[in-house]
Amino acid sequence: MIAGMKITIAIVEDQEKESQALKEFILRYCKEKKVSPLVDIYDSSVKFLSEFCGQYDIVFLDIELQKNEYDGMEVAHFIRKSDDACTIVFVTNLSQYAVEGYQVKALDYIVKPVTYDSFSFRFDSIIDKHLHQDYRAILIKSKGSLYKVLVKDIYYICIINHLCYVYGTFKPEDDETHLTCYETWMQLNNAAKEIDSPRFVKCNPSYLVNIDHVSRLTKECLVIGGAELPISRNKRKDVISAYMASFGRLQ
């Protein structure tokens, strides 16, 4: 657990008493753990889906949304069509949905009635998952659209003529994963703070690279995603140290 970390959460539940109780548990837990939460409540699955654009780290879904057009399982399938990183947690009276939950990669189930002790125990593992680099994600605004990308899929970020370019193996609308570039407005230092990972290092003042994707390294340059990027003399030691550390993570 990292004190001060921020996490965005949605609760999709058509029973106000249930949603408010769950929100209180979340806020209590986050206060105890010194985590900064943003919690939104939706009593309509249609409203949630109309506003969903990959902005949540965790979504709590009531499977039995009796007053809604879509139930929780259907909402989960919609989420997975555009977002593989979001953590889905079902809140339900019915444990028999567990098998279907695997199809939408639900992380956990919380069975009603929910007590704080049981919630706190399960939420520990849910939060810990988001501390793993493979699942952390950032939002990128590019040409009027928002894109949620996994940190591990970013190859490098560069600043050219005051514009920020994010390169990586993302999954665009054609549903195929390949090297993609998003153009956005972002300072390199702000990008590094948001990513907050030892895997990312500046090789020169204009480039922030994910060292795990570097295929070749010399004293003067590195090769990543087919691009050859220069290494500044004052950044050489940091780049080499990060590159050698990456081998320890792969073993």
**Chain segment 159-168, per-residue pLDDT in tens:** 999 999 999 9
pLDDT tens digits, 213-224 = 999 999 899 999
59: β partners: 10, 88
pLDDT tens digits, 68-96 = 778 888 998 888 888 877 888 888 776 54
Domains annotated on the chain, with CATH: 6-130 (3.40.50.2300), 139-250 (2.40.50.1020)
Q: Where are the alpha helices (DSSP H) in the chain?
A: 16-33, 45-51, 72-82, 98-103, 116-130, 188-195, 236-250
250 pLDDT exceeds 60?
Answer: no
Looking at every residue in the chain, the average pLDDT score rounds to: 84
pLDDT tens digits, 143-194 = 999 888 889 899 999 999 999 999 998 865 555 556 889 999 999 999 999 8
Find, among 134, 207, 199, 130, the residue nearest to 167 by Cα. Answer: 207
| Residues in contact with 211: Cβ distance below 8 Å, sequence separation at least 6, in sequence order | 199, 200, 201, 239, 242, 243, 245, 246
pLDDT (average), residues 4-9: 82
Q: Would you state the pLDDT for residue 107? A: 58
pLDDT tier at 49 (50, 70, 90 boundaries)?
very high
| Residues in contact with 151: Cβ distance below 8 Å, sequence separation at least 6, in sequence order | 133, 136, 137, 138, 195, 197, 199, 210
The answer for 4, left when phi > 0, alpha when psi is -120 to 50, beta otherwise, is left
User: Is 114 exposed, middle or buried (CB count within 10 Å of its CB: 0-12, 13-18, 19+)?
Assistant: middle
242 pLDDT exceeds 70?
Answer: yes
Find, among 197, 188, 137, 199, the residue nearest to 158 by Cα. Answer: 188
Q: Which residue has the tokens 């259907």?
A: 74
Cis ω on the peptide bond leading into residue 230 (within 30° of 0)?
A: no
